[in-house]
């Protein structure tokens, strides 16, 4: 059902793109826009992950450059039965994270240096398990293609405004219609984005709780991230709002609400659901599979009799 719904939403984005093309050039413009939409989808399938990572200045890390963070992702990926994704760190003070890639075999997960600085190990594990849940559910392809199409619709709508739309028999454009198109087309694309994001964030929260075995740690992380994200600006996200839905919490300024115009579900609603999951897992008092603390040996999915975790100086690499 989720796959069908996502397909319908992507089809809606393509239809908006084609409608803007019709406004600019009539039937011929519609055909050209459809061809551009197909080409954009194809390009996004193969390259959108690289574009997003480059857009945010993400740097790839490995077991040598960020040993603890990389090892944590590796353990979570193994527990989720996923191939090891590429791991990136964003040099951003805003604490946030996202996943991208066309399929689990070509996936990448990224966390900001701000996130690695303010969260503890359990909370970081909860966040990365959430992102790996997106990978496992194959949300990442839909989310990155949606970001690409939505951004293209916004640019095409502005192009329509400057051209003034299709010319009438006297060769003049319709300025009012052009202004309306510049407003309505990006708004419609944003609504489609929001519908995709809200649905999949709830699913990724539940999947992340299952992968980490620690829903309360993810709930705690969401509370910290939501508060901090509204205090620390994300310059790249503000300049490219079409990518906002990819992050675990809304990177844009303003309050997140659970209504038609929100990129993410309200943090309070997400936390309440995670608390319910914790109760159902009999984990309200103590997680069933705890993430290692800094003071003792680890067990469960984190390895038997492993050495204590030591946090390095700075943002884990």
Find, among 188, 172, 154, 208, the residue nearest to 9 by Cα. Answer: 188
End-to-end CA distance of the chain: 40
Let me know if 169 is a catalytic residue. Answer: no
| Secondary structure in 3-state letters for 78-108 | HHCCCCCCEEEEECCCCCCEEEEECCHHHEE
- 3-state class of 186 per DSSP? helix
DSSP letter assigned to residue 61: E
Q: What burial letters (b/e) apply to 155-178, b meaning 16+ CB within 10 Å?
A: ebbbebbeebbbeeeeeebeeebb
Cα separations in angstroms, 244 against 38, 157, 222, 282: 23, 19, 16, 34
Judged by phi (left if over 0) then psi (alpha if -120 to 50, else beta), residue 316 lies in: left
- Catalytic residue, candidates 121, 131, 201, 226: 131
Nearest-angstrom CA–CA distance, 178 and 163: 8
- Tokens encoding 139: 């949300």
Nearest-angstrom CA–CA distance, 284 and 274: 10
| C-beta of residue 115 within 8 angstroms of C-beta of residue 194 | no
Q: Which residue numbers are catalytic?
A: 131
């Amino acid at each position: 059902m989720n796959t069908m719904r996502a397909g319908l939403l992507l089809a809606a984005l393509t239809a908006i793109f084609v409608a803007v093309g019709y406004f600019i050039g009539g039937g011929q413009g519609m055909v050209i826009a459809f061809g551009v939409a197909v080409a954009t989808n194809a390009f996004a399938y193969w390259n959108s992950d690289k574009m997003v990572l480059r857009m945010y200045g993400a740097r790839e890390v490995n077991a040598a450059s960020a040993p603890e963070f990389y090892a944590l992702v590796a353990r979570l990926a193994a527990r989720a039965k996923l191939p090891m994704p590429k791991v990136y760190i964003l040099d951003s003070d805003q604490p946030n994270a996202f996943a991208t890639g066309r399929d689990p075999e070509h996936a990448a997960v990224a966390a900001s240096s701000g996130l690695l600085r303010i969260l503890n190990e359990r909370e970081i594990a909860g966040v990365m398990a959430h992102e790996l849940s997106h990978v496992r559910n194959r949300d990442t392809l839909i989310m990155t293609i949606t970001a690409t199409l939505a951004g293209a619709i916004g640019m095409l709508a502005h192009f329509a405004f400057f051209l003034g739309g299709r010319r009438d028999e006297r060769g003049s454009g319709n300025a009012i219609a052009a202004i309306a198109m510049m407003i309505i087309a990006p708004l419609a694309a944003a609504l489609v984005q929001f519908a995709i994001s809200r649905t999949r964030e709830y699913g990724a929260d539940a999947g992340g709780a299952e992968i980490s075995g620690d829903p309360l740690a993810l709930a705690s992380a969401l509370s910290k991230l939501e508060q901090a994200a509204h205090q620390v600006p994300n310059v790249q996200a503000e300049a490219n709002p079409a990518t906002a839905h990819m992050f675990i919490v809304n990177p844009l300024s303003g309050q997140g609400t659970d209504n038609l115009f929100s990129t993410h579900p309200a943090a309070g609603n997400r936390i309440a659901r995670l608390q319910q999951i914790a109760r159902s897992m009999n984990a309200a008092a103590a997680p069933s599979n705890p993430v290692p603390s800094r003071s003792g040996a680890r067990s469960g999915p984190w390895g038997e009799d492993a050495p204590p975790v030591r946090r390095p100086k700075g943002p884990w690499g």
